[in-house]
Structure 1
Amino acid sequence: MVYVKLTILLTVLGNLQRGHSDTTVASASTSYVNSSNEPTVDGSTVQYQTNWTTTDSNGGTTKPVTQNVMTTEASTPNPEAHLQILGKGLRWFQENSTFKLFCSYSDASINVDPAQLRFYDGKNNQLSEDRGFRRTVLSSSSSFVNVSLTKDRIQAEDFGKYVCRYGDDSSFNIHVGILKVNITDATYNLLMENKEDYTLTCDVIPAVDTETINSEVTLWFKDGVKAEDVSPRHIVNGSTLNIRKAEWSDIGPYTCEYIVLWGSNNSSFQWMVSFNGEARIGSVSVSFNYFQDDDMELSCPVSGYPYPVVTWQRNGVVITPDNRITLSPDASGKYINAVLNIQSLQFEDKGDYSCTGSSELNTVTSSPIKIRVKDKYAAVWPFIGIVVEVLLLVGIIVVCEKRAKRKKEDTDVVDQPTARRTSERRTSEARQRIISS
């Protein structure tokens, strides 16, 4: 019997191009629950997932912005080898993103001609380069061919039915929906701190033809927490997020999640909306005293969004890491090089230190921190001096006492004969007075 297999798979590979410099596409991948590279058609279940991951170009911080489209479908075994199809239904793409459409055909009973497997729109017009589409033969053999259809920047008018056909007999079609997204960021005004209201917008406009959208909803998150749970000041109104009397802690990346339900299937998409704030640096200590061979750690109290990148200076010269000096992010991991570590401080490490935070919005530098490095024996020298002084005083006192004692002894020896002569003279005078009388 003739066995014919025709499968079609969509993979979103492209840029989530919003016209914002802070977001770039890091990766896009399609994975199958089947162990093989292609979904099977022998009655098993196929499951595939498409991921978009964006990163912040200011420091490379990965954002939790991932688009997941998860669909599970099963084919029915056909012992008579009729056409087997996987991937029915509607597939979504974001406007200005790049997509790839894969189509493969196999038939062991004929010599498969790669040129016969082509793509058409719903009006039976071949999709060719004049409309921005590129057809590429990825692999082929006498009984198998696999081709792709790509377009770099799909537009809203590209929605509709896409047909993959081998010759005039075997064909398969799906419906492509295009999501047009209007993103409005906001920037915090430091002069109006805690006094101004801000609005973030994530307006998603779907373009689709035959499939019916049963419902759609937009959710807002900050750091994985629903925006309305962050504070009562965060008010969600569909495609808009209002932040009343915004505080500095409200700045940062917000995630807009769009969920669309069509038929019995649903798809979820996420985008990043920025609440920006100029870089600022808090107060720092005026000075620190260290001893030679101590380890030093200084932290730069920087904040802002996009997250500023920190550089350190000593006496106005930028510090370069080496075997003793390391730079690392802060505890949150958001601010690159915010922590300066120097091991085994030396006298040449003393000086005025400062940190600078730079983002695409502004650059700000901290006040200087004076670092003093003392001799590691500096605390010993005063003690030794005191001991020496005490010993000298004791020595002087001992010498003085000895001299005083010796002088006293000499005086006593000289005075004893004089006292004896005086006594004898008084006795002689007394005798003479007695005789005279």
Structure 2
Amino acid sequence: MQRPSLKIILSLLLLTPAVLSEINVDLNYDEDLRAQQSKRFDVKSHFQIKCSVTGDDSVDAKWHKGSTEVKPSERVSTSKQGTVFSLNVKHATEEDAGNYECVVFKDDSEVKRANITLVSKVYVKMVANLNFVEGEAIKMVCQVVGSPTVTWMVGNETYDESRDRVLLEKDPESNVENTMLVIKEAQMSDRTEYKCMATNAYGDTADGTTMVRIKDKYAALWPFLGICAEVFVLCAIILIYEKKRNKTELEESDTDQSPDQKNTPDHGKDSSNLRHRQ
């Protein structure tokens, strides 16, 4: 078992309760969330946590998320200005939410720590319009950010769980309960507005609305039937026209005689001469 070094022992002896009480740590909480020691951030944006230490100018600080020290990366960096220690995060994701600690050291010994909870702001994204065919399943997904609690409003009815024909399920992509709404067989009466409402534990809310329209299941046949009717009428007109034209030509051919069949004076003379010679 390793014994503590003389330097650490001396530093611990020097840090009397009176000295420790003079060191204060404050973080940049949101004013309305100061009681919860929390701060909001926007997904895909940059955010910064500041740890301000007063009472001793010779201290240093490190950042922890949970029980793990935060290491610098392409997105994450730390900075120091006097006794203000900052954690900077670029292109924030939902995974950046959680509990953080500013751990203050003096002469390699921890003297103070302060907590801050980062909370992602709530966002809701919905498709503006959706069309379904009568008898088919209605399925829509409410995309949410901020790990909120989700409820739905269908027309004037509010649903926080599955009821009657409306089924609320977990979207496998977001893994948030009630973010998928399913109605197994669409009816014409299902044509209405569907609102997804999200609320987190800090009272932040957001909502999105989709207008659902239901088409008649035979609607696709009407254009085809209309084309068939047009073709039928056109064929009937052509058939009637051809029949009348043929009839007219036949009547004209019966009334008109050929020039070879007409009796002319010369034709009569030839016949009489033939009888006279006989």
TM-score w.r.t. length of structure 1: 0.40
* Residue 278, structure 1, aligned to residue 118, structure 2: no
Q: How does 1:159-238 map to 2 (within 5 A)?
A: 185-188=37-40, 194-199=45-50, 220-221=64-65, 227-228=70-71, 232-235=75-78
Q: State the 1:414 CA deviation.
A: 0.9
Which of 321, 330, 353 is 2:194 aligned to?
Answer: 353
Structure with more of its chain in strand, by fraction = 1
Please name the residue that 1:407 is paired with: 248
User: Relative CO higher for 1 or 2, CA cutoff 8 Å, sep ≥ 6?
Assistant: 2
Q: 1:221 to 1:229 in 2, by over 3 A?
A: farther
* Residues 144 and 174 in structure 2, CA contact (< 8 A), matched pair in contact too: no
Given the superposition, is the C-alpha separation of residues 333 and 245 from structure 1 closer, same or farther in structure 2, using an over 3 Å criterion?
A: closer
1:224-373 map, 5 Å: 227-228=70-71, 232-235=75-78, 242-249=86-93, 251-254=96-99, 274-282=117-125, 284-304=126-146, 307-319=147-159, 321-322=162-163, 324-331=165-172, 335-359=176-200, 360-366=202-208, 368-373=209-214
Instruction: Indicate how the Cα distance of structure 1 residues 295 and 279 shifts in structure 2: closer, same or farther if over 3 A, else same.
Output: same
Residue pair 2:41, 2:118 contacting (<8 A) in 1 also:
no
Do the aligned partners of residues 229 and 196 (structure 1) sit closer, same or farther apart at CA in structure 2, a change above 3 Å counting?
closer
The DSSP-based 3-state class of the residue aligned with 2:151 is: strand
- Deviation, structure 1 residue 245: 4.5
Q: Distance in 1 between matches of 2:49 and 2:100?
A: 16
- Taking only the aligned residue pairs, the percentage that are identical comes to 19
**Aligned twin of 1:380:** 221
Letter of the structure 1 residue corresponding to residue 48 of structure 2? D
Point out the structure with the larger helix share. Answer: 2
Q: State the 1:273 CA deviation.
A: 5.3
Residues 74-121 of structure 1: CA deviation (Å, up to 9, x unaligned): xxxxxxxxxxxxxxxxxxxxxxxxxxxxxxxxxxxxxxxxxxxxxxxx
CA deviation string 1:117-153 (max 9, x = no partner): xxxxxxxxxxxxxxxxxxxxxxxxxxxxxxxxxxxxx
If the length of structure 2 is used for normalisation, what is the TM-score? 0.60
Match for residue 210 of structure 1? Answer: none
Task: Report the alpha carbon displacement of residue 243 of structure 1 after superposing the two structures with TM.
Answer: 3.0
Measured after TM superposition, the shift of residue 308 of structure 1 is 1.4
1-structure distance, mates of 2:257, 2:243: 22
CA deviations on 1:293-345 (whole Å, 9 max, x unpaired) are 222221212212xx211112233542462353211233356533112122111
Q: Separation in 2 of the partners of 1:296 and 1:406?
A: 60
CA distance in 2: counterparts of 1:329 and 1:336, whole angstroms? 4
Amino acid at match of 1:408: E
TM-aligned CA distance change 1:375 to 1:200, over 3 Å: farther
How many angstroms does 1:357 deviate by?
A: 0.9
Q: Relative to 1, partners in 2 of residues 1:343 and 1:243: Cα closer, same or farther, differing over 3 Å? A: farther
CA distance in structure 2 between the partners assigned to 1:375 and 1:236 by the alignment: 63
Provide the secondary structure at the position in 2 that maps to 1:397.
helix
Q: 1:412 to 1:389 in 2, by over 3 A?
A: same
